[in-house]
Amino acid sequence: MSNTPANTGTLYLVSTPIGNLEDITLRALRVLKEVELIAAEDTRRTRRLLRHYQISRPLISYHDHNKEARSPSLLEKLNSGESLALVSDAGTPGISDPAFYLVRLAIQHGVPVVPVPGPSALISALIVSGLPPDRFAFEGFLPAKSGRRRRKLKALAGEERTILFFESPYRLKRTLEDILEIMGDRRATVARELTKKFEEVTRGTVTQLLEHYGEKKPRGEVVIVLTGYTA
Ligand code: SAM
């Protein structure tokens, strides 16, 4: 239980589009217009969004490299009654981005934290994958280093739920090769550039996906969705 001090501002976690700028809720637009300050992971990208919707509010950067230095002053503003919107690079704040650091601090200090739900690459990839979406394990980004990545995949080999990974396009082929070797030739989906002009969803076995991406070097943003283990 926590007590909220009187006159504390609210920390809004505002979801923003993962590509298509139309994917923003009416509530997100209202909150972005009403808060005193917007803390953004990528101020350039957020400025583009705000300009598109003719929203003009003060913007400050909040990202992985300054989250610890920046958080005390954001907390001070919240404590003095100012409300703040936290937006990530794209999608839902807190899903593989630095939002959690400020969320935990705000909760510890009794600041109300309010979600403004909207797009997330994770859920969009899951629902178009064609793989069972009712139970899933989200693993975020796999380790970039080969040894650690392969150990992680070994640990996940018996996972029965549908498994999702965020992945860089440069590592996609290597990760699919590791999955094939360690977890076997399962059905999988690669969801690339969702909601954008070159959206591409490729479904098949891991071998088929490797054939596809062996010929064609992928670009853009990628989610891998993998069938869980079946005996
Ligand atoms: N918080 C974000 C969300 O809720 O979608 C995710 C942030 S994470 C740092 C960025 C990763 O999400 C990318 O590397 C990619 O794996 C995935 N991603 C983001 N936008 C995407 C898109 N339009 N299509 C496919 N994957 C996307």
Average pLDDT over residues 89-110: 96
Selection from 20, 113, 102 nearest residue 63 by Cα: 102
Ligand 1 centroid to Cα of residue 30, in Å, is 24
Could you tell me the CATH superfamily of domain 11-116? Answer: Tetrapyrrole methylase, N-terminal domain (3.40.1010.10)
Indicate whether 84 pLDDT > 80.
Answer: yes
Domain residue extents for the chain? 11-116, 121-226
For the segment 136-192, what is each residue's pLDDT rounded down to a tens digit? 999 999 999 999 999 999 999 999 999 999 999 999 999 999 999 999 999 999 999
The pair of structure tokens assigned to 59 is 């913007």
What is the whole-number distance in angstroms between the Cα of residue 59 and the centre of ligand 1?
Answer: 22
Question: Rounded distance, CA 51 to CA 35, Å?
Answer: 16
Note the pLDDT of residue 215: 78
Q: Which residues contact 173 (CB under 8 A, 6 or more apart)?
A: 210, 213, 214
Residue count of the chain, please give it: 231
181-230 pLDDT, tens digit each: 999 999 999 999 999 999 999 999 999 999 999 877 889 999 999 999 99
Structure tokens that stand for 139 in this block: 């693993």
For domain 121-226, is the CATH number 3.40.50.720? no
Q: How far is the CA of 4 from the centre of ligand 1 (A)?
A: 33
19-50 burial, b for 16+ CB within 10 Å, e for fewer? beeebbeeebbebbeebebbbbbbbebbeebb
Looking at residue 217, its pLDDT comes to: 81
CA of 62 to the centre of ligand 1 (A): 17
Pick from 14, 96, 193, 195 the residue to mutate for probing ligand 1's pocket: most ligand atoms within 8 Å of its CB.
Answer: 96
Give residue 4's pLDDT band: very low, low, confident or very high (50, 70, 90).
low
Residue with tokens 């071998």: 207
Ligand 1 probe mutation, 14, 16, 18, 175, most atoms within 8 A of CB = 18
Q: pTM for the whole thing? A: 0.95
The rounded distance, in Å, linking the Cα atoms of 111 and 28 is 19
Ligand 1 geometric centre to CA of 99 (Å): 14
Pocket of ligand 1 (CB under 6 A): 18-19, 88-92, 95-97, 120-122, 166-167, 191-196, 221-223
SS3 state at 218? coil
User: Quick one: pLDDT at residue 171?
Assistant: 94
The pLDDT tens digits for 22-63 are 999 999 999 999 999 999 999 999 999 999 999 999 999 999
